[in-house]
Amino acid sequence: MVIPSIRNFSREAHDHKHYARLDGDWSVAVADVISSTSLVAQGHDREINFIAGAMVAVMTATMGTEETPCACQFGGDGAVALIPPQKTEYAAQILQALAHWAKEDFGIPLRVGMVPVKALDAEGHETFAALHDFGNGNVFGLFLGSGVPTAETWVKADAQWRLDPAPGPLPGLEELSCRWRPVPSGRGTVLCLIIDPVEQGTADQLLSEIERELGTIVPPAKAAPLGNQEQLTVSLPSIHALKTELTTVTGWAKVPRLLRALIGMIVMGVVQWTKDQKIGWLDVAAYKRSLSERSDYRKMAGGVRMILDVSSDEADKIEIMLSRFENQGLIHFGTARSDATVMTCLVGNFAADRHIHFVDGDGLGYWRAATVLKAKLKANV
């Protein structure tokens, strides 16, 4: 089956007709960092983001092709990917190797697993998928229905869906990097939003209505957290940053990886200080614009997930608006505020304009918003 493409998020992302319902022989792959609370307290939030991005990197490299890219989604402290039937066994091996790598190289336990779509269907959880397509092979996965969030819940709660860590190769991991410093909010607050409809059957109209109301407070495109390119600052080649990137390779491969990281930081430094010029094949102005355009600050995972750069007043108004929908029994939501946006980058072929960027609120904003949402649900049980 072919997963369709969406190019206009505001017009198409909430509408099931732009998605394909997954066949039962597909699977949902899940990776989720364990004990995020204690790890964040120890200052490991950037490593957690890096590991979540690694799931997308390896699945993108191994599960898809240029004609049919893999539908993957970064979630801050985890990630999901849709696995076609012919690659189920290989995907399981990749997940096991990913969990082994996270524990061995970072000391961070990663829970991984796969849930067959037919098992989700049997419980009434439909899975719809689309690709947010920016052209040239740059895509993010978008998901509607309760299938993907249910698969995440099952892997976290039930060992029957989990896979044990095991060593193995991780192709594509070398394309992941984290060279940008946290991007300060340009308007005062980085607001992380998770909005889930109570009834999936009415999700299309409801989520569209919520986005329209959100747009009256602040248009999401205007609030894109990387929209102000002057705030982008490349990290100096710190030991910590280089050590993180070197975990993506082993043995003598660390030498060219180190050189690539240093050269990449130099290139990013040139981007930072050059204003609207071309340097060889690198169009600096176009690259800065694409950082914002190709970030996953808006996505669908059964409901809406957003990272927005807003004023404190706008954040208050958004939360009041969402509380109204929640009090009507239509949605559950969680929010978290940060002072900056953090970015993890997946650069396949820089010269060929192949790059996408995963964003989160500083201090694991998505995870904190999810924690708020879970506390609400627990209180209502």
DSSP designation for 22: P
Assign 13 to helix, strand or coil.
Answer: coil
Structurally, the chain folds into a number of domains equal to: 1
Whether 206 maps to a domain, the answer reads yes
Asked if 95 and 113 count as a contact pair (C-beta separation under 8 A), the reply is yes
Whether 319 maps to a domain, the answer reads yes
Whether 113 maps to a domain, the answer reads yes
Other beta carbons within 10 angstroms of residue 76's beta carbon come to: 29
Per-residue CA distances from 224 to 21, 123, 269, 307, 326 (Å): 29, 37, 22, 7, 25
Q: Which of 356, 332, 327, 329 is nearest to 344 (CA)?
A: 356
d(C-alpha 183, C-alpha 234), whole Å: 10
Whether 257 maps to a domain, the answer reads no
| Per-residue pLDDT, 239 | 53
| Per-residue pLDDT, 51 | 94
Whether 279 maps to a domain, the answer reads no
Mean pLDDT by 10 residues, the chain (381 residues): 92 94 97 90 90 94 84 96 96 96 93 98 96 90 96 96 95 80 90 94 87 93 77 55 61 63 63 61 68 88 95 97 96 96 80 81 95 90 57
d(C-alpha 232, C-alpha 239), whole Å: 20
d(C-alpha 215, C-alpha 63), whole Å: 36
| Per-residue pLDDT, 98 | 96
Whether 264 maps to a domain, the answer reads no
| Per-residue pLDDT, 355 | 79
d(C-alpha 326, C-alpha 269), whole Å: 45
Tokens linked to 122: 């049997």
Q: Is 66 exposed, middle or buried (0-12, 13-18, 19+ CB in 10 A)?
A: exposed
d(C-alpha 279, C-alpha 258), whole Å: 23
The residues, ordered by sequence, that sit 6+ positions from 315 with a Cβ below 8 Å of its Cβ are 189, 191, 335, 337
Q: Is 53 exposed, middle or buried (0-12, 13-18, 19+ CB in 10 A)?
A: buried
d(C-alpha 328, C-alpha 341), whole Å: 32
Tokens linked to 262: 């240093």
Asked if 297 and 359 count as a contact pair (C-beta separation under 8 A), the reply is yes
Unique residue bearing structure tokens 């070197």: 246
Whether 243 maps to a domain, the answer reads no
**Side chain identity, residue 177:** S
Cα-based angle 306, 311, 317 (whole degrees, multiple of 5): 75
Query: Domain of 88?
Result: 5-227+290-380
Other beta carbons within 10 angstroms of residue 86's beta carbon come to: 8
Q: Which of 345, 355, 349, 321 is nearest to 335 (CA)?
A: 321
Whether 76 maps to a domain, the answer reads yes
The residues, ordered by sequence, that sit 6+ positions from 238 with a Cβ below 8 Å of its Cβ are none
Tokens linked to 19: 């998605």
Give me the helices (H) in the chain, please. Answer: 9-12, 36-41, 45-63, 88-101, 117-122, 147-157, 203-217, 239-246, 254-273, 284-293, 312-327, 365-380
pTM: 0.89
